[in-house]
């Protein structure tokens, strides 16, 4: 009988211990991710109403933080101080994060809406099989210009930017790869050139552009150009489309020497707390109505076929922002240059910025 009582007691104690552990884990989960979803995205890159809609549908609370360059995002994720559940980096940054083992493979069974993505944007070299990332927006880098302020100038070549008529009249996007890439392209080199002589030539050429550069700016570039604070800007295509919504005088071209085409994809960092919620968010953003609303709000180009069909024809048929494959084929994606070379690009860009001041 005593043995039976002891056994009973042992079972009860174990059961209580398990219950306690379970509730402790639940509350910990609630605290550290079970009920929240932390998203790290570019600035001005989501319709805030959609975040509310997602919260309503899932009961999760979204914590939202932004970055303004892949380099800033990489530094933060590499440091690991904050844990993010979903991050939206570009192609070469995704390759770098994969290499550094910072991402977890996605569970495609939890992302059925992936079927909505145009095959053209799947299985790209920075992430074969979309093992770690799914498309969010895509686009190009080009020149936005105001015909009223540029006396009939033609911007089909990057070299037009060095024209002395553009003195103090250009805004540059604050991106090391974008600005270095533009200078390299203007010299007919690749945006991924690693040759030190070519890189120094690019810096020298950039320094010669300084008199024409009014400022190197972040997201405020849209407001400044729409308000005609300068005649010309080097921008991402989506920003150009947003600016042109505000001020339809402006036009956008991708110069003939070549340029960058980029892809911003959603990923889940290895340190994510809420992996299930992260998959839910990714799948939500791929829903046609959601992707269309988001594209309309931020002005960037969606890779989502049924979403594109929901957009006004003047958007979906605008080849400046939805260039066909014949055009994008001649553009380059930024390569993952590796730690040292990427740092070198950043350093050269910084030298140009310092020299300008």
Which residues in this chain contact ligand N2P in the complex, by CB under 6 A? 42-45, 90, 219, 236, 262, 264
Q: Which of these, 30, 91, 82, 83, lies nearest to 61 by C-alpha position?
A: 30
The CB-nearest residue to ligand N2P is: 42
- Report the residue number, 150 or 328, with the smaller CB distance to ligand N2P: 328
- Report the residue number, 189 or 236, with the smaller CB distance to ligand N2P: 236
- Report the residue number, 60 or 124, with the smaller CB distance to ligand N2P: 124
Could you give the CA distance from residue 99 to residue 336 in angstroms, rounded to a whole number? 10
- Report the residue number, 219 or 276, with the smaller CB distance to ligand N2P: 219
Count Cα neighbours of 333 within 13 Å in the Cβ-side half-sphere: 18
β-bridge mates for residue 37, sequence order: 62
Element (H, E) at 327: helix 325-328
80: helix, strand or coil: coil
Q: Which of these, 70, 225, 261, lies nearest to 149 by C-alpha position?
A: 225
- Report the residue number, 42 or 126, with the smaller CB distance to ligand N2P: 42
Q: Which two tokens stand for residue 22?
A: 């379970």
- CB 49, min distance to ligand N2P, A: 17
- CB 18, min distance to ligand N2P, A: 48
User: Which 8-state DSSP code applies to residue 68?
Assistant: S
- CB 209, min distance to ligand N2P, A: 22
Q: Which two tokens stand for residue 240?
A: 């150009």
Could you give the CA distance from residue 138 to residue 264 in angstroms, rounded to a whole number? 6
- CB 294, min distance to ligand N2P, A: 12
- CB 296, min distance to ligand N2P, A: 15
Return the HEC string of 193-257: CCCHHHHHHHHHHHHHHHHHEEEEECCCHHHHHHCCCCCEEEEEHHHHHHHHHHCCCCEEECCCC
- CB 71, min distance to ligand N2P, A: 12
- Report the residue number, 68 or 251, with the smaller CB distance to ligand N2P: 68
- CB 141, min distance to ligand N2P, A: 9
- Report the residue number, 47 or 219, with the smaller CB distance to ligand N2P: 219
- Report the residue number, 43 or 105, with the smaller CB distance to ligand N2P: 43
- CB 136, min distance to ligand N2P, A: 9
- CB-CB contact of 140 with 254 (8 Å): yes
β-bridge mates for residue 137, sequence order: 264
- Report the residue number, 203 or 285, with the smaller CB distance to ligand N2P: 285
Q: What angle do CA 176, 179, 183 make, to 5 degrees?
A: 130
- CB 215, min distance to ligand N2P, A: 17
Q: What angle do CA 333, 300, 44 make, to 5 degrees?
A: 105
| Residue 141 vs residues 25, 152, 164, 180, 256: alpha-carbon distances, Å | 47, 22, 22, 12, 12
């Amino acid at each position: 009988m005593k043995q039976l009582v002891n056994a009973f007691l042992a079972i009860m104690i174990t059961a209580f211990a398990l219950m306690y552990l379970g509730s402790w884990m639940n509350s910990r989960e609630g605290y550290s991710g079970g009920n929240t979803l932390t998203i790290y995205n570019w600035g001005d890159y989501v319709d805030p109403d959609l975040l509310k809609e997602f919260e309503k549908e899932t009961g999760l609370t979204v914590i939202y933080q932004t970055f303004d360059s892949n380099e800033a995002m990489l530094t933060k994720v590499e440091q690991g101080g904050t844990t993010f559940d979903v991050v939206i980096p570009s192609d070469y940054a995704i390759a770098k994060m994969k290499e550094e083992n910072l991402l977890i493979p996605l569970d495609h069974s939890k992302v059925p809406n992936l079927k909505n993505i145009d095959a053209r944007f799947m299985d790209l070299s920075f992430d074969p099989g979309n093992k770690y990332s799914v498309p969010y927006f895509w686009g190009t880098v080009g020149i936005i210009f105001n015909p009223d302020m540029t006396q009939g100038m033609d911007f089909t070549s990057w070299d037009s930017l060095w024209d002395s008529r553009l003195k103090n009249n250009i805004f540059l996007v604050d991106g090391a790869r974008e600005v270095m890439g533009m200078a390299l392209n203007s010299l007919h080199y690749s945006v991924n050139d690693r040759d030190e002589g070519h890189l120094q030539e690019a810096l020298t050429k950039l320094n010669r552009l300084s008199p024409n550069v009014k400022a190197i700016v972040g997201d405020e570039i849209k407001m400044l150009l729409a308000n005609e604070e300068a005649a010309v800007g080097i921008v991402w295509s989506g920003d150009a489309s947003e600016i042109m919504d505000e001020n339809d005088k402006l036009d956008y071209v991708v110069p003939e020497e070549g340029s960058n085409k980029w892809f911003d994809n959603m990923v889940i960092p290895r340190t994510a707390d809420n992996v299930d919620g992260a998959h839910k968010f990714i799948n939500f953003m791929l829903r046609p109505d959601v992707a269309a609303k988001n594209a309309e709000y931020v002005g960037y180009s969606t890779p989502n076929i049924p979403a594109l069909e929901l957009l006004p024809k003047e958007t979906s048929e605008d080849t400046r922002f939805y260039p066909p494959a014949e055009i994008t084929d001649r553009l380059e994606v930024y390569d993952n240059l590796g730690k040292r070379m990427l740092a070198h690009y950043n350093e050269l860009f910084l030298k140009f910025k310092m020299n300008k001041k």
